[in-house]
Structure 1
Amino acid sequence: MTQLPARSRAVALLLAALLLCTAATGTATAASRADGTVVVGPNETITDGLSAAGGTIEIYGTVRGDVQAAGGSVVVADGATVTGDVQATGGDVTIAGSVGGNVDIASGSATVARNATVAGNLSVAAGSAVVAGTVDGDAAVGADTITLASTARVGGDFVYDGTLTRETGSEVAGDVREDPSLGDAGMGSGFSLPSWLGTAYGFLVNLLVGAVLLAAFPRFSRDVADRVAGTPLRAAGVGLLALVATPILLFVVAITVVGLPLALAGVLVYALGLWVAAVYGQYALGAWLLSYTDRTNRYLALLVGALLLALLQFVPVLDAVVGFALLVLALGALASALYARYRAAGELASA
């Protein structure tokens, strides 16, 4: 395979690093996110929909358009707003916010929480399902155990396949009827997704991407890890600066006639860049932990970091805190390392 010259390769990677920073703040368009933890913050607005894959996917803000989410855990939190449809696949799926369209869930366990409002229809295939919120349209639920809670309000029919527990106070405007064909379509008792499946998938994919990065850029990867461990305050400062400044820069570029196509192309680069930074963060964590032993194998460092991050998916608050901190550190170290390589290449070319 023909490689780019060092300077061109550094510029390309620097562009990726800058574009990926829009993930953590502000308004994004046509977002695609893949990471151990994917979070849409309370003050964040995403336009043109969201496609997300990860161990944990949490939506606290606003998504204008449809959401496609696949992960070990998927949450549309109380106070969150999705204006379009939601298609969620995971070990555990919880809808607690407002959805303007239909909701389709395939999961080990599914919950439409008390404060949830679904403007369209609800379709669920799960091992266990709880409907406690408001569904304006019809609801079709196939699961081993189904609970229609006292706070549930369904504006159309409630069709189910499985063992139904209907609590006193639940309201269904249409018919409540059992339909075994839901199970024949793959819903209900034959369907089950283990909660660890999404986490394991993200772990393996991150290992593969990390191995490619370490093999293709061994010195550069080591440099990034060294900057995270050696100058963490500097790395964090650069990372936070990038998070604040990049959305402004991209907005300025997007509003120009010539810059709009570049901004659109940048969406794809941004998704790739986010992934690269997340993997480098895991590698840096593993390398720092191994520095306290006599082992210095870079692939072992990647394995240790990725495994630790995967295990943290089962600790809801801690995984988000650690994941964000690593992302900020890795972004700063990545940007600093790329800039240093770019300057060195420039000095060599002019010599």
Structure 2
Amino acid sequence: MRKICFACFLIVSLIVTFSSVANAIQFKRDRSVTVPKGEVIEGDLYAFCEILTIDGTITGDLISFSRFANINGTVQGDIISAGRNVELRGVVEDDFRVIFARKVLVNGFVKKNVTVFCRDFFLAKEGTTGQNVLFHCRNSNIKGKILGSIYGIGGVAELTGEVGKDVDVRKILKVSISPTSHIKGNLKISGNDIKIAPEALIEGKIEKKEWISKRIMFSSFILKLNWLIAAILIGVLTIKFMPRLTQNIIVEIQQYWKCMGIGLIALIFSPIAIILIALTFIGLPLSLLSLLFYIALLYLSTIFVGIVAGMLILRLFKKPFQVSLASMIVGLLVLHILFAVPSFGLVVRIVTLILGFGMVVSGGLKFIREAA
């Protein structure tokens, strides 16, 4: 992809070159290239350097292959730049285009379009573009004034400035429209985390569409798969090495209303007790141990509800109603699927947590009494 973009970049450069036959063309190649204030370069300037500084005037186009480019003067034609950092504080009377950059700052005036493909793009409060802004960046912060429209893709975008026409941003991981934003046209957003301040002034229509990147979906899938595998392993160890405790906990499902009550009370008051213990002088280590124990019980609660659910499901297929590896796997898989259902999944999670916590507490206390 980078090779294709670079080839396109060279083609554009050649087109600009051959369209400027009537103009003088200057090539400057050095570690540092500077056009001082008051100096006027007639025609186009091609700069190949480490550091480029433009404080004067270029009557044609500026084609820059510079690691650091600082344009503080005036360019009467286009700017086409490829480099690490590009900062514009001057005036561009045509288009401003940047690719392969780490940071692009526009703190000046661009009469026509701004097109940037970079990691970080900043349109400062004093920055102004006469037409459209097109960006494909990891981070975009737009505080200035855009007389045209915004078209953007990817990363994190924040808008606090003024847009004369439409805003169309897609595949954004996170987008924020601040209270000071003023969009005179329509707002169209396709993103994962969309925040639009109520105070933001949007004169046109608002169209929001949720979008989740494949990377986020894959990461979420891996996390859920890891949770499922870990739950199965812990369940296997519990069943194998603590069969009596497991049986005592499973039996408690026969009094599920009692388990719901115990689970609700234990879930609410256990954190309060842990905090009160932590407030004492010697209670901090004990409170940390209690917190770890509380988290372990929360984890086990889902596993035991999964075992019971699997036993009930397998009984429908004429299987024995008993604790087994198959019942645990089936039950946890079913719970995992139900958890993923929007809205309903949240209800299932809450009921599972309360019921399972009550089963573990009640069955655990019964096991301690029998052991004593």
Q: Per the shorter chain, which TM-score range?
A: 0.3 to 0.5
Normalising by structure 2, we get a TM-score of: 0.42
More helix by share: 1
Q: Which of 1 and 2 has greater Rg?
A: 2
More relative contact order, 1 or 2 (CA 8 Å, 6+ apart): 1
